[in-house]
Amino acid sequence: MAALFLIASLLVLLSLAIARFFEGFGVPSLLLFLAIGMLAGREGANILALSDPALVQGIGVFALIVILYSGGLGTHWPSVRPHWRQALALSTLGVLATAFLVGAFTHYCLRFPWLQGLLLGSIISSTDAAAVFASLRSRNLDLKPGIRHLLELESGSNDPMAVFLTVSLIHLSLHPGAAWWPLLPDLLWQAALGLLLGWALGRAAVFVANHARFATEGFTMVFFLAAGVFTYGLAETLGGSGFLAVYVSAIACGNRSFVQKKSVARFYDGLSWLAQIGMFLSLGLLVQPSALLPVLSQGVLVTAFLIFAARPAAVWLCLAPSGMRWRETAYVGWVGLRGAVPIVLATYLLVKDGDQAILAGASWLFNLVFFIVLGSALLQGWSVSRAARLLQVGSPTEKPKPHPLELTAQAGGDKELEEFMVPFNSMAAGRSIAQLDLPDQSLVVLLGRNGEFLEPTGASVLEEGDTLMALVNHETRSRMQSLLAKQKPPSSKPGGEDEPSHWFG
């Protein structure tokens, strides 16, 4: 046991060191963690190996619970609410369209049986919350209003459809001739129950946290960790979508005031990185690099089709009615990162019934999924920033420094210290704080600029990229966010929206 703890901790420390070293090169962290796991596994240094898919699946599910809860806590609902229809379309119709297109491609071009092709498409149909959250929140990208919120909301809510399709197609593969239409009510039940339980348990968690008066701050952290796991377990036990329930529950918590809210958010942020490292390391330890060679040709073709055809086509199908500009739609289509979720879903194929895998060819299909995830991380994960600049939908910003103030929310209080950024091309830029017509019951207490924090006055003129620390309540936070998000009118130069605006450089 001591040796196991020593090796596991060394792998985590090595992962942190390598991720820090490659931070400036734009290498996706998940790719590094997978590589370290593979190098430490049976065909590498052979210092640690995992051969139990059920164990790796359990690690992956727990890690996804933590990652989704952390992402939900950081989701500002008033900001993402205008995009819920697009996100819903992407997380349902988009996932279904991606699965069908990949299935059709593998059937007609690679001669896969229909069910096997559709199963592969279902497993890789959803974007990965861990990969998307990590890529967008660690690259310091100032994306156009709405794009970041849409991507995060989609990645946090599209797992239930992928899980449903995967489990349903496994069932149809094991029971040839079974009808698929009786499975539809189960999908509706899973989604509805996940939404309702998530919302109710999130509100209940806030109520308990504000009235329990825990003796120490640590008890609050443990409470919210247990609340996230409990939400998943209860939803799955009752036949609902556990992942959707966790994400909705976290959003319900994150958009209400409760005691030690910022401490809980920081706790989950650190825990989510540990979960990502542990999950990708364990997945890397499970796979054997030599097993990827037999799937090389099919893997390259399916990866290319998924990235350049299936995902963009599904996104255009879902977002065309919304009137979103083509540059923004193209960027959403490109940032469709695949990560741990497809690999965890692929472990469903490896879990054995007695001594046999539940499906013939399960190991081959798992290795193919693993190869596709690696290809997605290499092409899409590496180019998140470059694609934003190429398509003129965002620009890199300075990494924000920690602010020197902290406010501990009290039970029954409605004021919180929140951080707001003045986006590029914002109408607030060039105006003084006194000219902004800030909502009542709000107070700007700090102005962050170029890594320094200044004491603001009414005459302080805002600049693009400034950070405002303000005391707000739930209502004034939404109004402040909307006020700063207003964009200057587009240039009247010939070419309209295709003309690069000044903030792209």
Nearest in space to 239 (alpha carbons), one of 286, 302, 196, 180: 196
List Cα–Cα distances, 137 to 22, 152, 455, in angstroms. Answer: 16, 10, 27
Q: Is the pLDDT of residue 231 over 90?
A: yes
For residue 244, give the amino acid letter. Answer: L
Q: Is the pLDDT of residue 356 over 50?
A: no
**199, 271: one domain:** yes
Element (DSSP H or E) covering residue 150: helix 147-157
CB 337 within 8 A of CB 367: no
**356, 435: one domain:** no
Q: Grade residue 417 by pLDDT with cuts at 50, 70 and 90.
A: confident
**69, 151: one domain:** yes
Q: What number of residues does the chain have? A: 505
Residue pLDDT, tens place only, 14-52: 999 988 888 766 667 778 888 898 888 888 888 887 778
**Which residue range(s) make up the domain with 129?**
2-395
26 within a domain of the structure (yes/no): yes
Q: Grade residue 107 by pLDDT with cuts at 50, 70 and 90.
A: very high
311 within a domain of the structure (yes/no): yes
Q: What is the mean pLDDT of residues 286-301?
A: 90
Residue 404: per-residue pLDDT: 59
User: What is the chain's Cα-based Rg?
Assistant: 23
* 52/142 Cα distance (integer angstroms): 42
**219, 306: one domain:** yes
Residue 449: give its domain's CATH number. Answer: 3.30.70.1450
Residue pLDDT, tens place only, 439-497: 877 888 888 887 778 888 888 888 888 888 888 876 777 788 778 878 777 654 444 44
**382, 423: one domain:** no
Q: Grade residue 435 by pLDDT with cuts at 50, 70 and 90.
A: confident
Q: What is the mean pLDDT of residues 121-149?
A: 74
CB 440 within 8 A of CB 476: yes
**43, 190: one domain:** yes
Residue 180: per-residue pLDDT: 76
By DSSP bridging, strand 416-421 and strand 352-353 are unpaired
Residue 260: per-residue pLDDT: 83
Four-CA torsion 225, 227, 233, 236, nearest 10 degrees: -120
* 259/262 Cα distance (integer angstroms): 9
11 within a domain of the structure (yes/no): yes
Nearest in space to 332 (alpha carbons), one of 498, 148, 504, 503: 148
For the chain, give the mean pLDDT. Answer: 83
**121, 243: one domain:** yes
* 126/481 Cα distance (integer angstroms): 30
Q: Grade residue 501 by pLDDT with cuts at 50, 70 and 90.
A: very low
* 337/150 Cα distance (integer angstroms): 14
CB 28 within 8 A of CB 382: yes
Q: Is the pLDDT of residue 355 over 50?
A: no
Residue 293: give its domain's CATH number. Answer: 1.20.1530.20
**296, 355: one domain:** yes
What are the structure tokens assigned to 157, written together? 């809510």
400 within a domain of the structure (yes/no): no
**169, 276: one domain:** yes
* 302/102 Cα distance (integer angstroms): 7
Domain-terminating residue out of 343, 361, 395: 395
179 within a domain of the structure (yes/no): yes
State the Cα angle at 65 between 206 and 19, rounded to 5°. Answer: 115
**365, 452: one domain:** no
405 within a domain of the structure (yes/no): no
409 within a domain of the structure (yes/no): no
Q: Grade residue 498 by pLDDT with cuts at 50, 70 and 90.
A: very low
Say which residue, 203 or 137, is predicted with more confidence.
203
* 28/384 Cα distance (integer angstroms): 10
224 within a domain of the structure (yes/no): yes
* 256/127 Cα distance (integer angstroms): 27
For residue 37, give the amino acid letter. Answer: G
Q: Grade residue 502 by pLDDT with cuts at 50, 70 and 90.
A: very low
Residue pLDDT, tens place only, 298-312: 999 999 999 999 999
**351, 487: one domain:** no
> Into how many domains does the chain fold?
2
**171, 258: one domain:** yes
pTM above 0.85, yes or no: no
